[in-house]
């Protein structure tokens, strides 16, 4: 399929990108790796009249130790996140999850910020940052603001980023050696997850988040509360889909997703416990 016609502008800096967003407003979209936006444009589900390419803004590509957290620039590519020794040591969940995004071509082009800003409930990295309780740094005309992950994902493909704002940094709390797990079930390698689970141990906040179980990435709050109260992994996992309305589609029914969520949450909790004890 062919997208509708559009103008293309390459931004050389974050300030230029913000100025262009201010100039073109709702008619403009930010282009980073393009793996989310371009397919939507080809299907005519998105028809921006202007694409602002920020892929070459290298000042937004970095991984830094900032004391109590690791700061990751929004344009850091998945392959860089995956291979970062700093992240492997301090926030291993994110390094691992970046390594299961798509295929090598996707990981060499796609960016962590692009994935998170897109807010797809079937994506891997949004669930990981949600489980960790990460903070998103968003820049706009009024300066920068910090948005907790729990408040960032608003609705299907909708986040807290305003039309004239740009996601510039992701701040990941250090895991302090806590156990972690990412469980992902898909029909074929490199497919979107039918259901996925990201989990971290109590020392990292005890967050548990679900992939493709709601209109946004979502915390399994009932499971978190049960685990905090000392409930066993198998019993807590029974609560995985409590209060949720998972989607039904060609890949799986809502009932099948509920079953998968329980199975994967149990596996995730068991792996978290095993890593805590190792």
Which CATH number goes with the domain that contains 37? Answer: 3.30.43.10
Residue ending a domain, choose from 173, 196, 213: 173
Q: Is residue 228 part of a domain?
A: yes
CATH code at 241? 3.30.390.50
Mention every residue, 6+ apart, whose C-beta is less than 8 A from residue 144: 137, 138, 168
pLDDT digits (tens, 9 = 90+) for 258-275: 999 999 999 999 999 999
Let me know whether 99 and 132 are in one domain. yes
Q: Is residue 229 part of a domain?
A: yes
Let me know whether 16 and 118 are in one domain. no
Residue 223, burial from CB neighbour count under 10 angstroms (0-12, 13-18, 19+): buried
Report which of residues 45 and 240 the model is more confident about.
Answer: 240
| Burial track 53-89 (b if 16+ CB lie within 10 A, e otherwise) | ebbebeebbebeeeeebbbbbbbbbbbbbbebeebee
Mean local confidence (pLDDT), 234-243: 96
Q: Is residue 1 part of a domain?
A: no
Q: Is residue 233 part of a domain?
A: yes
In terms of residue numbers, what domain contains 124? Answer: 58-173
pLDDT digits (tens, 9 = 90+) for 201-214: 999 999 999 999 99
Question: How many structural domains comprise the chain?
Answer: 3
Let me know whether 135 and 187 are in one domain. no
Residue 162 confidence class, pLDDT cut points 50, 70, 90: very high
Q: Is residue 105 part of a domain?
A: yes
Please give the pLDDT value at position 278. Answer: 47
Q: Is residue 242 part of a domain?
A: yes
pLDDT digits (tens, 9 = 90+) for 69-78: 999 999 999 9
pLDDT digits (tens, 9 = 90+) for 120-152: 999 999 999 999 999 999 999 999 999 999 999
Mean pLDDT value across the chain: 92
CB 177 within 8 A of CB 201: no
Let me know whether 99 and 136 are in one domain. yes
pTM equals 0.92
């Amino acid at each position: 399929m062919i997208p509708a016609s559009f103008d293309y502008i390459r931004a050389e800096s974050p300030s230029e990108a913000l100025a262009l967003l201010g100039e073109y407003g709702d008619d403009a979209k930010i282009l980073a790796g393009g793996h989310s936006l371009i397919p939507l444009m080809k299907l005519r589900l998105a028809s921006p009249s202007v694409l602002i390419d920020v892929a070459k803004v290298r000042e937004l590509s970095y991984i830094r130790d900032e004391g109590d957290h690791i700061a990751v620039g929004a344009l850091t590519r998945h392959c860089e996140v995956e291979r970062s020794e700093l992240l492997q040591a301090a926030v291993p969940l994110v390094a691992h999850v970046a390594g299961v995004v798509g295929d090598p071509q996707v990981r060499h082009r796609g960016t962590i910020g692009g994935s998170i800003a897109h807010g797809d409930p079937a994506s891997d990295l949004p669930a990981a940052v949600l489980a960790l309780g990460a903070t998103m740094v968003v820049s706009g005309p009024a300066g920068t603001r910090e948005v907790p992950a729990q408040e960032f994902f608003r609705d299907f493909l909708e986040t807290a980023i305003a039309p004239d704002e740009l996601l510039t940094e992701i701040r990941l709390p250090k895991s302090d050696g806590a156990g972690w797990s990412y469980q992902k079930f898909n029909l074929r390698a490199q497919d979107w997850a039918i259901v996925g689970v990201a989990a971290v141990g109590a020392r990292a906040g005890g967050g548990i988040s679900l992939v493709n179980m709601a209109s946004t990435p979502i915390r399994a709050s009932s499971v978190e509360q049960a685990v905090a109260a000392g409930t066993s992994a198998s019993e807590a996992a029974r609560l995985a889909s409590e209060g949720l309305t998972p989607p039904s589609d060609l890949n799986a029914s809502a009932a099948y997703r509920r079953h998968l969520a329980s199975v994967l949450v149990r596996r995730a909790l068991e792996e978290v416990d095993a890593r805590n004890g190792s």
